Structure 1
Amino acid sequence: MLRGGTTALCIRSVLSCLSGFLPRRLYSLADDFHSLPTTSGEPAPTMWSAAFCLCAMLSGAWIPAVQAQATLPPDLSMTQTVRVFQDFMRQFNKTYQSPEEAQHRFKAFVHNLGVSRALQASELGTAQYGTTRFSDLTEGEFAEMYGMSRRSRAPPVARADGEVFSFRSKSCDWRKAGAITEVKDQGKCRSCWAFATVSNIEALWNIHQRVQRNLSVQEIIDCSSNTTGCQGGHTWDGFLSVFESGGLSSCTLYPYVGKDQPCQKYRKRRVTPIDGFQILPRDEKNIATIVASKGPVTAEFNMKFLQNYQNGIIQRPAEDCDPNYRDHVGLIVGFNEGKSRRGSRTGPYWIIQNSWGEHWGEKGYFRLHRGTNACGIAMFVATATVKDSTTKKPMRCPHI
């Protein structure tokens, strides 16, 4: 435990750094603590000091506790903000290589606390925003590491006609049927499109053939044409590659390495084929019926709000999420029409599997408002096609 002049030096070191980017109401606190004496008689530090790492990050005895995952209060004091950052580092096992990097990450963290509060104040659904494992990244860093570079190239096939169905399901969740393989983590390779492609094919084989498959995401990254691998791609390019090559290898034969590499040609590989693929109409009612009757589908969307998302149904004001800026891909595994409970109503939503690991969002999933093309979710929806088994009945999607 720190004490005496060391504690004073610690506090002044923290405040000297924070005064550059915390709200003006906290400047006076920094000025007050600059007058604290030290046992060594050294002047107060004016740059980020290693004392921050030693005192603020490792010692929390003098700072009120605030849980990192708690709903953010309307305002935080400086000491509470430092403690939240300390809890964040511990919870997500964060380490920084230098005091300068720690300063940069803390500054981004403080900014994201403000962003989360603003998002919470304007949220129209039930989504909760706050501290996530991405909270020490700037918006630009987050987009560069996890978002795809945008490309406007059209799909290589015509959009399918809307199908006429004799039934409409009010809800569906393919996870309950055991049709969805586990949530995976793309790491720092911008390969969400490849993960969505593979998860779609795996689910369809479970549903229509009653056969479980764990397939190679890396093969999609390495061997698909018209893509840029770890810089991004489209699911229809992945589907086309699988269709033209006769099928996809297992992840055991062709494991994920999370970086671009030459396409590996394995002899006598056992492959999982598809019968084709479709680009669906931009009709969310039709898309929901396809999901319920055929299986999960892939969708491109604007990931703007996922950096600070914790749980709940995202519903943003229309002007907040440009549907034409689509930089991420996920797998729609279900939906719900919405329901009323004790006077409150939950609107219709999609259930979407992400590829950032199960410790993000709702165990690797998030929910997005359905029916208004939220964040461009209905613009480019694609799915592989897998025929039914000749000996087994296909699965049915359980209701929520």
Structure 2
Amino acid sequence: MTAREGVVADQLTLMLLSLLIRVLPALAVASALLGERAQHEHENPLYNNTERKHDVQKIKEHAEDLFMRLMNEQHGSSPAGSSDYLERKRRFLESVRRQKHLNARARSSGANDTAFYGINQFSDLSPQEFRAIFLRSFTSDNIPVFPVNVYNNAKPAPLPKRFDWRDMNAVTPVKDQQSCGSCWAFSVVEAIESAYAIQSHSLEELSVQQVIDCSEKNLGCNGGSPTTALRWLNQTKVKLVRNSEYNYKAMTGMCHYFAPTDFGVSVKGFEAYNFRGYEEEMMSKLVELGPLVVLVDAISWQDYLGGIIQHHCSSGESNHAVLITGFDKSGDVPYWIVRNSWSASWGINGYAYVKIGGNVCGIADAVAATYL
């Protein structure tokens, strides 16, 4: 086997394991231990600290059982002596220890709304594997600082306590990028879907695969830059077709072309700014223009289950592209409502909450909005 074939085989193994974790009955145990998550943030009071600590402790106690069920489902028995079994078990138990460390801050602070971490579909991966597969976005430009003085002179309207574009039926369902480093393409297409819906059109699911295959100066499943993709769309006026016409393959392919008369959505322009220190103005832009494409440091998101992310990530270390659909300032800790592309089984029905203020996870470093 060549080195290239070995890499492909390893990736296929990781894809299989991640898929198995999603569908195994073991996850039903984890779900039952965590309790039912609310279907929407309106109904989702964050777990109180006592309940959260109790749930995480129970999952830790069942970690060995969850792993054994995974191996039994995959092999029909537990090949305890195999090298793959031992390596996967080592990584799984390392995940449990890492999650204990991540939760320690929440236990010591006593806060009811701090993020909490535990077993999910990525718990069989090492942080290095997780980064190599899922964190493949980057910034290719020097993003200018937001011109706050010019903006404030325009006297923007007061902000509501809570705002979410999902409430206006302007956000499509959460998708799963699978083992393709395409978060950059998902975030851009999701922003365009929302912009199209906001303009009083229907809510359409557009083709992420088209952007992966056709976007110049990006690397397909090996990663890319949202601003580079937006610039390509703006310069070429390529029309994004429906996902049903150019469906997602989770791999890089040849670019397909369509007749000018076919349905499609094209970009007329976009803005990209560094909002560090200006997250209040960033909220105004979200209300004004629609969901925002942002880059974040998501290395600790591998283990995220819920709550508001306030620690365990850095600014200036962005590696993952996501979409902000809204914000909530009604509680003690204000937070961004962040849509991910790791399926609805991750986080809070596919979403994460990130604290507003302090540029947590670098969420304000590179922010883009598009208009049609």
Q: State the TM-score bracket (shorter-chain normalisation).
A: 0.7 to 0.9
Cα RMSD for the two superposed structures: 2.6
Percentage of identical aligned residues:
30
Q: Which residues in structure 2 correspond to 1:1-400 (within 5 Å)? A: 67-69=29-31, 70=33, 71-73=55-57, 80-86=62-68, 99-123=82-106, 125-148=113-136, 150=138, 153-154=140-141, 161-162=147-148, 163-164=151-152, 165-246=156-237, 247-268=239-260, 269-282=262-275, 283-316=278-311, 320-339=312-331, 346-386=332-372
* Counterparts of 2:330 and 2:124, CA distance in 1: 34
SS of 1:211's equivalent?
coil
Whole-Å separation in 2 of the counterparts to 1:89 and 1:205: 45
**Alpha-carbon contact 1:297-1:331 (below 8 Å) kept:** yes
Instruction: Specify the code of the residue in structure 2 equivalent to 1:348.
Output: P
1:68, distance to aligned residue in structure 2 (A)? 3.0
Bigger-Rg structure (1/2): 1
Q: CA deviation at 1:74?
A: 8.6
Per the alignment, in what secondary structure is the counterpart of residue 120 of structure 1? helix
Distance across 1 between alignment mates of 2:310 and 2:359: 11
Distance in 1, Cα, partners of 2:302 & 2:159:
34
Residues 211, 295 of structure 1: alpha-carbon distance in 2 compared, 3 angstrom cutoff? same
Q: Determine helix, strand or coil for the equivalent of 2:338.
A: strand
Please identify, of 244-253 and 221-230, the stretch whose mean Cα deviation from structure 2 is larger.
244-253
User: Could you tell me how far 1:252 is from its partner in structure 2?
Assistant: 1.8
Instruction: Provide closer, same or farther for how the CA distance between residues 149 and 300 of structure 1 changes in structure 2, counting only shifts above 3 A.
Output: closer
CA distance 1:89–1:201, change in 2 (3 Å)? farther
AA matched with 1:214 = E
Query: What SS does the aligned partner of 1:112 have?
Result: helix
Secondary structure at 2:30 match in 1: coil
Moved over 6 A (4+): none
Task: Report the TM-score when normalising by structure 1.
Answer: 0.71
**1:3 aligns to what?**
none
Indicate how the Cα distance of structure 1 residues 176 and 87 shifts in structure 2: closer, same or farther if over 3 A, else same.
farther
- Taking the aligned partners of 1:149 and 1:203, their CA distance within structure 2 comes to 21
Is contact 1:338–1:349 with CA below 8 Å preserved after alignment? no
CA contact (8 A) 1:189 1:230 kept: yes
Paired positions, count? 308
- The one-letter amino acid of 1:267's match is A
Q: Displacement of 1:281 after TM fit?
A: 4.0
Amino acid at match of 1:136: D
What's the secondary structure of 1:299's corresponding residue?
A: strand
Per the alignment, in what secondary structure is the counterpart of residue 250 of structure 2?
Answer: coil
CA distance in structure 1 between the partners assigned to 2:137 and 2:194 by the alignment: 27
Match of 1:396 in 2: none
**What letter corresponds to residue 108 of structure 1 in structure 2?**
R
Question: Cα deviations across residues 110-157 of structure 1 (Å, max 9, x unaligned)?
Answer: 01101111111113642121100000111111111101165x5315x8
Higher helix share: 2
Query: Which secondary structure state, in structure 2, belongs to the residue aligned with residue 371 of structure 1?
Result: coil
Distance 1:203 1:334 in 2: 12
Superposed CA deviations along residues 44-85 of structure 1, whole A, max 9, x for unmatched, are xxxxxxxxxxxxxx9x9xxxxx943432229966xx542132
Contact between 1:223 and 1:263, CA under 8 Å: does it hold in 2?
yes
1:86 deviates by: 3.1
The answer for unaligned runs of 5 or more in structure 1 is: 1-57, 61-65, 340-345, 387-400
Relative to structure 1, the CA distance from residue 129 to residue 95 in structure 2 (aligned partners, 3 Å threshold; closer, same or farther) is: farther
> Structure 1 residues 272 and 308 mapped into 2: Cα distance closer, same or farther (>3 Å)?
same
**CA contact 2:144–2:274 (8 Å) conserved in 1:** no
2: CA distance, partners of 1:284 / 1:191: 26
